[in-house]
Amino acid sequence: MTQKNAAGRGRLMDELSTASRRYMASYALFNQALADHLRLHPTDLQCLNLLALEPGPVTTGRVAELTGLTTGSATRLVDRLERAGYVRRERDVEDRRRVLVTLVPERMAEFGEVWQKLNGSWFAMFDAYSDGEIALLTAHMRRTVELSAAQVERLRGGEL
């Protein structure tokens, strides 16, 4: 890479760093505002999001895996979601010793209605992108999820 290309790359990386910091902060603030609107904790909101992506009911242990919380913290999170009416605990019909966390369809429909009201703006924003650009953004988001999970492990493991 030439010195001119390296300087240009450096400027781009600086711009990307600034934009990504603003992006992460704006997402965290959006998540907080949505959680406040729904009278939930931001982590509880994201847990609901993750539970909605699961193919069916899950154990509290799976909630811990999805969120990266300890099993005790995941239990408290499920307690809060149960009090708020978003989930219920049910015995597994195949193994009565297991308790499954099940989404409450009516409450999730209310949750979905809020998202529907917000989604129009998001989809309109993506109308400006080509299919190739959307594919690139999707690939970036998938890679970001993988990298974030690895970074969470590092931080929780005491590494820096």
Does residue 123 carry a pLDDT above 90? Answer: no
Does residue 119 carry a pLDDT above 80? Answer: yes
Distance of CA 59 to the CA centre of its chain: 18
The pLDDT value recorded for residue 160 is 80
Query: What number is the average pLDDT over the span 79-103?
Result: 94
Which 8-state DSSP code applies to residue 58? Answer: B
Q: How far is CA 150 from CA 53, 99, 107, 118, 146, in A?
A: 20, 29, 33, 30, 6
Does residue 118 carry a pLDDT above 80? Answer: yes
Query: What number is the average pLDDT over the span 9-16?
Result: 94
- Mean of the per-residue pLDDT values of the chain: 93
Question: For the whole model, what pTM was predicted?
Answer: 0.84
The pLDDT value recorded for residue 115 is 87
Are the C-beta atoms of 90 and 134 separated by less than 8 Å? Answer: no
Q: Where are the alpha helices (DSSP H) in the chain?
A: 3-38, 42-53, 60-67, 71-83, 105-126, 131-156
Predicted confidence band at 76 (pLDDT cuts at 50, 70, 90)?
very high
Q: How far is CA 126 from CA 6, 28, 48, 92, in A?
A: 31, 20, 24, 41
Q: How many CB atoms lie within 10 A of CB 70?
A: 11
Structure tokens at 12: 């781009």
The pLDDT value recorded for residue 2 is 76
Are the C-beta atoms of 93 and 99 separated by less than 8 Å? Answer: no
Predicted confidence band at 153 (pLDDT cuts at 50, 70, 90)?
confident
Per cent of the chain over pLDDT 90 is 77
Structure tokens at 13: 């990386």
CB-based burial label for 77 (10 Å; 0-12, 13-18, 19+): buried
